[in-house]
């Protein structure tokens, strides 16, 4: 057999081969092919060299990492303290007592084993097999791994009831605000807010607890029976969490969460609507690189591009409140959530010239009986007590706490406006990958280019605003005027360039948070310098992007 | 097998006869040994996730303390190193979410470590190459960077998937993309 005839392994296959991750049968084929094919061998060598270079880079950066502030031997003391704490617990005293009574530990072990066997035999006869929480969660998590699923959630708190659809970015509705607040509660308790109604998230939270108590109850009979897992703890701000899983397939149906702050939350998974199949991930997941998206068919891509362009002309870009999906039959559906009645007509007319598009409006139920209290800037005392050096300095520069609060709001608003544009660009890049674009005719390319240009231009204006606003303050904080920032290396496609842009925007965003969230501590000048550099970098990157692509 | 560890300071003498070689190992010894062996790796990993030295150290110590608690509770942990990295990963994410900062590498690291070459010309070349690569690495997504770091630390795809909480196939995809990007950068 001519070994060369076997098709060339793709890049992923080659890397897996180099990493010893291919199943042995496949590896044998690849090896045989490599022996015969110079081209693939050269490819593989190049991959290996890249790996070598990366490893060298890691070694340079991390082989002797900077020393931590405190010597490591402090760990021993902490471990001893932990052991002492745990030994004082009654369970240990109980064991010690039994040990004292039964000097022969072998007998103790046998006795224990016999007791356990008898107990379980008894339980087995009377009840269905008892399941412990850890085991159940493990099985349910395994199910979840097989089918990653982010259902829509109905979330009920003391004050609000709403449906979580994943549309949060830059949304200032009370619903979004409530969701954000709720999110921070979960995050504070080390409980995943990305996908709260899942056994995996529940298990991760439970695994991180220092102390906990589990209860597992099987309710109902037959197909309708439900496992209820309840874990409570004293060591987390989330004091008690309950998950209800369908016994037949261990899918999580609902859950309740009780926080130390007396807040409680009830969540129910809603059945999927067809157009939800491609629902965007929640905003909290924006920082993650999304999984590979299936390639769009050219005709579909054209259709979607037209809709996006039409929506853009009506000032309704995807993401904020507007979703674009397909139903099972492949028909395009635009879903507009919480759009004011007066804007609906504009949306409708923008899409009227496009055939076969259905436009749906959705209004999540929001309990407005207790609106959020408005932030009373004027009411804040003029000097807010803070020991943070950076915050003090900011207050001094900007005229007290009121001035600082106003300034912070303006900066965050400007940065949010810039981020919205970056996200829009990124969405375009993701939807219309280079492969998809390849199939576009000239007309489509022009439409796409115009869309991109509009966003890039808007972004340039917003970042310039941000710079004008921020730079004087950063310099007065003692930011060193950093050296000129280089343009990033130019990647082959604008889609890749968008990722670079996104990274620069993210870095600035992160620096701003550090600046205003009081994490700057006693090194205001350093924090300001870093923010200044990130600001400069973003401005340069935006200019480069606008000019190059 | 996780049941061979007997709680806390109670020595595992019950099991004498069954596993004599483990008879005198306590969970404390085990965790102390694990700490001696892996704490720098976990610390590096936390640093690579963009945390400062103090936070990275805290996360490292906390991970090992949690390992103690887990073993003490009788949990069976097959792959302790991967377990530690997973806990460190989650702690790091939570801490960063709390501070609402998702940073890539600490930028000063580069300046800190480059100038250690004997030959000045080579050093210059190396430095340039390194900078180039660093730029490329910084252009990767955070999860791609994490996959690279963990792979370089010797974890298998399956373990990486477990640590960051993604699918094994996604790990493979991330690594492929990352290596492709680095390759492109090298040839630019």
Average pLDDT over residues A515-538: 76
B12 touches chain A (CB under 8 A): no
CA distance A380 to chain B (A): 23
Q: Are A321 and A171 in contact (CB under 8 A)?
A: yes
- Measure in Å the smallest separation between the Cα of B61 and chain A Cα atoms: 6
Task: Quote the minimal CA–CA distance from A280 to chain B in Å.
Answer: 17
Sequence-distant (≥ 6) Cβ neighbours of residue B31 within 8 angstroms = A79, B64, B67, B68, B71
Residues of chain A neighbouring B5 (CB-CB closer than 8 A)? none
pLDDT digits (tens, 9 = 90+) for A408-436: 778 878 888 888 888 888 888 888 888 78
What confidence category does residue A521 fall into, taking pLDDT thresholds of 50, 70 and 90? low
Return the SS3 of A433. Answer: coil
Query: Is there a contact between A244 and A268 (Cβ–Cβ < 8 Å)?
Result: no
Instruction: For residue A50, give every residue at least 6 positions away whose Cβ sits within 8 Å of its Cβ, in sequence order, or none.
Output: B179, B182, B183, B186
Q: What is the pLDDT of residue A424?
A: 86
Q: CA separation (Å) from A511 to A50, A425, B187?
A: 31, 22, 32
- Report the C-alpha gap between A148 and A37 in whole angstroms: 38
In the prediction, which pLDDT does B155 show?
95
Q: Roughly what angle, to the nearest 10 degrees, separates helices A494-516 and A389-398?
A: 90
- Asked if residues A160 and A372 have their Cβ atoms less than 8 Å apart, the reply is no
Return d(Cα B18, Cα B1) in angstroms, integer. 13
What is the per-residue burial (b if ≥16 Cβ within 10 Å, else e) of A481-514?
A: eeeebeebeebeebbbbbbbbbbbbbbbbbbbbb
Q: Is A93 on the interface with B (CB under 8 A)?
A: no
Of B173, B172, B50, nearest in space to A287 by CA: B50
DSSP H/E element including A405 = helix A400-431
- Closest to B98 (Cβ–Cβ): which among A21, A67, A187? A187
Give the range with max mean pLDDT: A502-506, A507-511, B66-70: B66-70
Q: Note whether B75 contacts A134, CB cutoff 8 Å.
A: yes
pLDDT at A179: 82
Q: What's the longest Cα–Cα distance across chain A?
A: 89
Residues 65-104 of B with CB under 8 A from A: 65-66, 68-70, 72, 75, 87, 90-91, 94, 97-104
B139 vs A500: CB contact, 8 Å cut-off? yes
Q: Which of A205, A262, A252, A261 is nearest to A233 (CA)?
A: A205
Closest Cα in chain A, distance from residue B146 (Å): 11
What does the DSSP assignment read for A363-385? ------SSPPPPP-TTTS-SS--
Compute the nearest-CA separation of B3 from chain A (Å).
13
| Segment holding B184, helix H or strand E | helix B168-187
How high is the pLDDT of residue A1?
44
Calculate Rg over the CA atoms of chain A.
Answer: 29
Give the pLDDT confidence score for residue A490 in this predicted structure: 76
Q: CB distance from B52 to chain A under 8 Å?
A: no
Least CB-CB distance to B8: which of A61, A75, A92? A92
Which of A176, A441, A211, A381 minimizes the C-alpha distance to A284? A176
Comparing alpha-carbon positions, the chain B residue that sits nearest to A113 is: B14
Q: Are A187 and B114 in contact (CB < 8 Å)? A: no
Q: Residue A223 to residues A130, A141, A247, A361, A486: CA-CA distances in angstroms?
A: 18, 20, 7, 36, 63
For residue A525, count other CB atoms closer than 10 A to its CB: 16
> B83 to chain A: nearest residue by CA?
A207
pTM: 0.39
pLDDT in tens, B98-118: 654 444 445 454 555 545 555
More confident call, A181 vs B155: B155
- Percentage of residues of chain A with pLDDT beyond 90: 9
The shortest CB-CB distance from B14 to any of A16, A49, A109 is to A109
- The percentage of residues in chain A with a pLDDT greater than 70, rounded to a whole number, is 77
- Contact between B148 and A54 using a beta-carbon 8 Å cutoff: yes
Angle ∠(A352,A356,A359) on CA atoms, nearest 5: 60
- Asked if residue A109 has pLDDT above 60, the reply is yes
Is B173–A12 a contact, with Cβ atoms under 8 angstroms apart? Answer: yes
Give chain B positions within 8 Å (CB) of A503: 104, 138-139
| Contact between A46 and B183 using a beta-carbon 8 Å cutoff | yes
* Contact indicator for A223, B86 with CB cutoff of 8 Å: no
Q: What is the CA radius of gyration of chain B?
A: 20
| Residue whose entry in the numeric block shows the structure tokens 């480069």 | A544
Chain A residues with beta carbon closer than 8 angstroms to that of B109 = 61, 66
Q: Which pLDDT band, with edges at 50, 70 and 90, does A148 fall under?
A: low
Cα-Cα-Cα-Cα dihedral of A42, A47, A48, A50, to 10°? 130
Disruptive mutation site among B16, B100, B106 for chain A (greatest number of A CBs within 10 Å): B100
Chains A, B: CB contacts under 8 A, how many?
Answer: 187
Q: Which of A86-100, A116-130, B82-96, B174-188 has the lowest mean pLDDT?
A: A116-130
**What are the structure tokens assigned to A282, written together?**
């929640």
Residues B160/B151, Cβ–Cβ less than 8 Å? yes
Within an 8 Å CB–CB cutoff, is residue B10 touching chain A? yes
Least-confidence region, from A99-108, A334-343, A367-376, A529-538 = A367-376
**From A149-153, A288-292, A381-385, B68-72, the region with the lowest mean pLDDT:** A288-292
* Better-scored residue on pLDDT, A43 or A112: A43
Residue of A nearest to B130 (CA): A57
Establish if B42 touches chain A: CB-CB under 8 angstroms. no
Tell whether the model's pLDDT for residue A216 goes beyond 50: yes
**Within chain B, which residues score under 70 in pLDDT?**
1-24, 97-120
């Amino acid at each position: 057999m001519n070994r060369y005839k076997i098709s060339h392994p793709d890049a992923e296959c080659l890397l897996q081969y180099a990493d010893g991750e291919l199943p042995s049968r496949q590896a044998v084929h690849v090896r045989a092919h490599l022996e015969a094919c110079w081209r693939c061998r050269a490819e593989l060598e190049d991959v290996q060299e890249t790996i070598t270079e990366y490893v060298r880079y890691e070694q340079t950066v991390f082989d002797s990492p900077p020393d931590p502030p405190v010597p490591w031997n402090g760990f021993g003391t902490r471990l001893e303290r932990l052991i002492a704490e745990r030994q004082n617990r009654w369970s240990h005293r109980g064991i010690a007592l039994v040990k004292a009574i039964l000097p022969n530990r072998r007998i103790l072990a046998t006795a224990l084993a016999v007791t356990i066997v008898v107990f379980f035999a008894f339980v087995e006869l009377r009840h269905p097999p008892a399941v412990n929480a850890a085991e159940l969660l493990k099985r349910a998590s395994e199910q979840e791994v097989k089918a990653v699923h982010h259902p829509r959630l109905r979330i009920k708190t003391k004050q609000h009831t709403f449906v979580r659809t994943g549309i949060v970015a830059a949304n200032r509705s009370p619903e979004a605000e409530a969701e954000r607040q709720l999110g921070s509660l979960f995050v504070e308790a080390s409980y995943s807010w990305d996908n709260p109604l899942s056994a995996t998230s529940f298990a991760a939270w439970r695994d991180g607890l220092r102390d906990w108590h589990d209860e597992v109850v099987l309710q109902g009979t037959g197909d309708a029976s439900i496992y209820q897992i309840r874990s409570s703890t004293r060591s987390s701000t989330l004091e008690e969490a309950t998950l209800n899983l369908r016994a037949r397939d261990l899918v999580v149906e609902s859950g309740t969460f009780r926080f130390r702050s007396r807040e409680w939350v009830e969540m129910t998974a809603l059945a999927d609507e067809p157009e939800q199949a491609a629902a965007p991930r929640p905003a909290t997941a924006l920082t993650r690189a999304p999984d590979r998206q299936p390639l769009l068919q050219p005709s579909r891509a054209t259709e979607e591009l037209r809709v996006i362009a039409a929506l853009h002309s009506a000032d309704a870009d995807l993401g904020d409140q507007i979703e674009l999906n397909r139903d099972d039959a492949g028909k395009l559906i635009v879903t507009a959530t919480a759009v004011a009645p007066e804007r609906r007509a504009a949306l409708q007319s923008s899409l009227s010239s496009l055939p076969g598009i259905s436009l749906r409006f959705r209004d999540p139920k929001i309990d407005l009986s207790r609106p959020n209290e408005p932030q009373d800037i004027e009411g804040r005392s003029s000097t807010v007590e803070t020991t943070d050096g950076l915050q003090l300095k900011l207050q001094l520069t900007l005229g007290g706490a009121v001035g600082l609060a106003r300034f912070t709001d303006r900066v965050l608003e400007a940065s949010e406006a810039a981020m919205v544009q970056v996200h829009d660009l990124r969405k375009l890049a993701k939807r219309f990958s280079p492969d998809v674009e390849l199939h576009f005719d000239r007309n489509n390319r022009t439409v796409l280019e115009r869309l991109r240009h509009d966003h890039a231009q808007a972004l340039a204006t917003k970042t310039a605003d941000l710079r004008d606003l921020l730079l004087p303050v950063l310099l007065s904080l003692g930011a060193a005027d950093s050296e000129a920032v280089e343009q990033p290396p130019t990647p082959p496609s604008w889609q890749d360039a968008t990722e670079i842009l996104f990274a620069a925007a993210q870095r600035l965003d992160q620096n701003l948070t550090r600046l205003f969230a009081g994490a700057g501590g006693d090194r205001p000048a350093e924090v300001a310098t870093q923010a200044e550099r990130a600001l400069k970098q973003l401005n340069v990157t935006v200019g480069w992007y606008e000019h190059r692509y | 097998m996780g049941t061979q560890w007997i709680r806390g300071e109670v020595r595992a003498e019950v099991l004498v006869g069954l596993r004599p070689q483990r008879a005198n190992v306590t969970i404390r010894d085990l965790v102390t040994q694990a700490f001696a062996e892996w704490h720098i790796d976990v610390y590096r990993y936390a640093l690579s996730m963009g945390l400062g030295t103090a936070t990275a150290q805290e996360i490292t110590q906390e991970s090992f303390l949690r390992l103690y608690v887990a073993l003490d509770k009788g949990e069976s942990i097959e792959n302790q190193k991967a377990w530690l990295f997973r806990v460190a990963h989650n702690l790091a994410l939570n801490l960063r979410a709390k501070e609402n900062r998702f940073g890539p590498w600490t930028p000063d690291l580069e300046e800190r470590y480059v100038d250690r070459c004997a030959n000045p010309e080579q050093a210059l070349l190396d430095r340039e190459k390194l900078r180039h690569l660093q730029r490329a690495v910084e252009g990767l997504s955070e999860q791609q960077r994490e996959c690279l770091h963990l792979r370089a630390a010797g974890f298998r795809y399956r373990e990486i998937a477990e640590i960051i909480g993604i699918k094994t196939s996604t790990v493979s995809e991330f690594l492929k993309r990352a290596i492709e990007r680095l390759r492109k950068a090298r040839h630019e």
